[in-house]
Each structure stands twice: as structure tokens, then as C-alpha cells.
Structure 1
């Protein structure tokens, strides 16, 4: 992978480019470069060319742009000139599976989890992780947190239920083989690989481990990416909030990390008149 490939953010460029984000970033880069001219002419040129290059490759360069750019464009009355382009499937491969193994028997998985001591019945009738399994799972996630994405891809390939080669593609973890194809967001790859490794310690049959990883995300005890606290919140679809009309913006309830913001679970779309949880 080249430096340019590492910098690219296809979900924010090409057909998925957000023009409010692009316009605001170009204006900021131009302003900074002009302010730099009295200090250093060559430095100003470097700021301008470097900023434009990053915007071309990544969609934006100023951190937090998706949160403020559309609101700024609307406030300035420029929304009609910067039509938002919502993300398309091109931002992720068609082969996205979101699971290590899609086919499973829920009853068989639950029985195996209870027998192995992975899950337990609570006094309130709900299911919970056992303390021992939670500790094993968090330990494995901590180990994977120190691995780069190439190592994570290799680890993912080792736990899928088919022979395949792991790689980093489309900002995610891909495993491809003759008998199957898997694509996962890195946060899910860390959680699932760690869960499979922890289940192995508890003697869960190998045929059960990969199919059980995705259902176990309901019980993820901490952020797989940073170890932070998970909480329910709402997010807006699209890199900058759906359409330019806020009333038409689709919002989703998710479980996300309070510290790094990564989404771990999607709880569904929030209706326009539906009561939303406080962020």
C-alpha cells in the first residue's frame, strides 16, 4: 500500500464527495495560506498545495468538518449551490458481510453459550456475560488493540470458517477465499476476533465460534477500539447529515464509544416524531 493509498478516504470522495465539506475546507486552506504569505512565501505555497491535495484524496482536511460544514453552508445561505451527495454502496464493497459467518441457528448458539459459561441467565430474565468470559473477552480486545490493521486482517482470516487471505480494503478488513468472502469494519473485526479467541478458551466448539461472534456484539463490554465506555446515542446518516434539509435527515440510534465515537452497534432508525435519547 502506497502513502497515497493510505491517505485516500473513498467514502468521502468521488461520487460520495460532500460538496459543503469540500467548499468549507478549500476556503479554510486558502485563508491559512494567505495568512502564511507574510511569514514565508514557500510555506504558503506548501500549505495551499498540501491542503488541496488532502482535500482531493480525503474529502476534507479540517478535523470535525462533517459536523460543522453543512450547518455553516446553510447559515450562509449557500445550500442551494452545494447539493449534498449521500453515500452510495461504492463507499463500501458489495461483498460486505458484517459477520464472520452469516448462517447460524440462534437456539443452538444460545444453548452452546450457556453450556460453555459464556452467557448466564439473570434474575430479571435477561441474558448477561459471565464475569469470567467478560474478562477473557476484554483481555483479547486489549491485545488486538495493539495490532495494526494488517495484523488484524491476518487474525481475522485465522478465525473465519473457511480458508482465505486477509487484507485491508475499503477502510475495512477483508477476507477472501474460494468458499467465502467477509468484510468487516475494523471495530467489528477486533470485537469478533477477540470473542472467538475467548470462546476457544471456554471450550466452545469451533463450528459455533464464528457464527456466535456477531450475536455476542449485543453484549460488548467496552469499546473494542480504545477500551472506552459504550453508551446509546443518535447519529445522522451521511458524511455530513443526509440531505440539506435537517427535517429530512435520517437519524439512527447506535451504541457508540463515549471516548472515540466509534459505532459498535446499530439500533435502528429514529422516526421524525419518535422520542430520542439524550446524547
Structure 2
């Protein structure tokens, strides 16, 4: 009897939606539906109500849901803010800043200006992305207001305000700067911009000799404009570092090493690079990845694609520039950050 009971339970159980794979939002929704059905069935008597409750909870326990297709329903109808309460929203692009998310940490810093003011990027399967200036005044104003409300514990308020002022007063025109120092140059027809050959060689040379483990905290600190003590490497499957109280992440080793290599090449090329506000430097480095003609990891061709990022309850698209050979992601962007042709958003190389 026990064997037959176990066999029956095994037949009805769906491991895809139970145990470690159980979806909390789906379970909450289904329990609410079970309660509603129980209340409705009470009109037929307490026995009927008890039977409905037991059957409903049994279905939720063994199958993970009461209503078939619940995971698809939650993807379609539950708002993002509800899913994020349960940690079920997909991570989104692994590119740029994210909140550290540790208990008690203040997550608003001047680097939020960089996250908010990255600008928009035009991506084409046959061309690279624009260079974002990362210096929108409105984003800076929002960051300043937020920082005044809750300055980071390890970054005095006056330093935070100084960083925002530096961003506003010393931001450069990225197109003008990169053309002036010979990082990019117009194509023969003048329609696009590409890496200047010598600079492209310098970046490629550094990328080919670097591994993730080779990158030192001192180099990243110079990139971010902070002290080496303010940089901590995160243990993730993709490159990520905590800078002060925010996490900077990259979609893969190729993107990470490309940023580091471009930074080192720019430092060697001109003293003006380190005079660019740190937040804007990071935006420029991210945009420069789209000028790469080959994969930093395997040397294969790169192209823009639309990828779907999913969790059990949610799915959305990101635009990825990835290697067609090894699949390495060089750049990831939210679709809403993609410019439509004709928008005055910067340069389109």
C-alpha cells in the first residue's frame, strides 16, 4: 500500500515547480485562489469546503500550482515590483551598476549619475554603438537630491557633492575628445567612425595578454576614480566588483577585459583621459566596446542580437552584442536605451 501511495505521489508530483524550484509568487497566488474556492464551496456545506481545501492544497503541494499555466500567468499579469519582492525578477543586463543589496547598506552614491545618465545607444547588427556622454544634467540633479537625503556611510556628503559637481563642470564631449586624441577616426565616406588602427592594435594587444585574475584593484580604482581600498572583487560567474557601496558588473570576461585594456591604452595615450570625470569615463569605456570588430576572447566576429532573459515568473529582452563564434557577450543593453535613427544622441560609429 505504501509503495502504491508513493508511486501515485511520484506520478502527480512535478519537480519543475516544487521543492527547490517552487515559485513563491505562484504559490501565494494559488493559495489565494484555493482560499477563494473554499469560501465559495462553503455554500454547499462544511464537508464540501473541507474537500475543496484539501484537494487544492494537495495540488499546490505536489504539483506546484492549482491552476495550470500559473507561471505563464504570473509572467503576463504580475507587476515587476511584486515579483521583485520575492526575488523572482530576472537580473536584466549584466552591464553597468546595480545596488549592492546588503542589509543596512546605503546604495545611493554619485555613481548613480552614471547609471542614470548613460544615455541611449544605437545598435545595428552591422555597426557599432554610439558613444554615450554620461552627463545628463537632470540625472545629476536627481542623484544630488538623493545623495543629500542619504549619503553613503563611507563617503562623506561633501565628497559626494564634489563628485557631482566635477561631473557637471568637467564633462567632455566624447566624440570631440576621442577624435582629438586619435582613438576613433571617420571612415573614408565620412558616414561612420571606427577605431584608429594604432589604438585598435593597442587595445587588442592588451586584451590578448590579460586574464580576469590579472586585473589588479589598483587598475580598477584608477578607472573608477577611487582608492584601491574601495574596490572589492565579487565572486560571481561573470566579472563584478563592489566600488564603495555599488556593484559594477560586466556581461563576461570579454567586456571586462576590453574595458580594462581600453582604459590602459587611453592612459598611455593621453593625460587628458584621467581628467574626464570618473562616471563619464566608465560610460565611454562601455560604449567603446561596441567599436570592437572581433571578440576579445576568441577573435570571432561580433553582432547585435535580441536575447530573452527569464526567471520562473518573468521574461524580458535585452539587446546583446555577442560573438557569433563562442557566444561571449561584449555589451548588453535594455531595449529602451536603444536610440532610433535620427535621434541626436551622440556618435554612431
Normalising by structure 2, what TM-score? 0.43
Return the match for 1:218 from 283, 287, 290. 290
Q: Map Cα deviations across residues 83-131 of structure 1 (whole Å, 9 max, x no partner).
A: 788544599852499x899274575222221111001122232221111
User: Do the aligned partners of 2:207 and 2:258 also contact (CA within 8 Å) in 1?
Assistant: yes
Distance 1:136 1:166 in 2: 27
Q: CA separation of 1:19/1:130 partners in 2, compared to 1, >3 Å: closer, same or farther?
A: farther
User: Do the aligned partners of 2:99 and 2:247 also contact (CA within 8 Å) in 1?
Assistant: no
Q: CA separation of 1:197/1:91 partners in 2, compared to 1, >3 Å: closer, same or farther?
A: closer
The match for 1:15 is: none
Secondary structure, aligned partner of 2:331: strand
Larger Cα-atom Rg: 2
Secondary structure, aligned partner of 1:174: strand
Where do residues 6-85 of structure 1 align in structure 2 (5 Å cutoff)?
A: 19=17, 80=69
Matched, 1:184 2:256: no
Distance 1:230 1:165 in 2: 30
> Which of structures 1 and 2 has the larger relative contact order (alpha carbons within 8 angstroms, sep 6+)?
2
Where do residues 98-109 of structure 1 align in structure 2 (5 Å cutoff)?
A: 102=114, 104-105=134-135, 108-109=173-174
User: Do the aligned partners of 1:156 and 1:166 also contact (CA within 8 Å) in 2?
Assistant: no
User: Do the aligned partners of 1:100 and 1:214 also contact (CA within 8 Å) in 2?
Assistant: no
User: Do the aligned partners of 2:92 and 2:318 also contact (CA within 8 Å) in 1?
Assistant: no
Matched, 1:124 2:190: yes
The match for 1:94 is: 99
Where do residues 236-255 of structure 1 align in structure 2 (5 Å cutoff)?
A: 236-238=308-310, 250-255=316-321
The match for 2:178 is: 113
Normalising by structure 1, what TM-score? 0.53
Moved over 6 A (4+): 81-85
Matched, 1:140 2:209: no
Q: CA separation of 1:161/1:87 partners in 2, compared to 1, >3 Å: closer, same or farther?
A: same
| Structure 2 residue runs without a partner (length 5+) | 1-15, 22-67, 76-82, 101-106, 118-133, 136-170, 337-349
Distance 1:89 1:231 in 2: 22
Q: CA separation of 1:181/1:269 partners in 2, compared to 1, >3 Å: closer, same or farther?
A: closer
Q: CA RMSD in A?
A: 4.0
Secondary structure, aligned partner of 2:303: strand
Secondary structure, aligned partner of 2:175: helix
| Structure 1 residue runs without a partner (length 5+) | 1-17, 24-78, 244-248, 271-279
Q: CA separation of 1:252/1:91 partners in 2, compared to 1, >3 Å: closer, same or farther?
A: closer
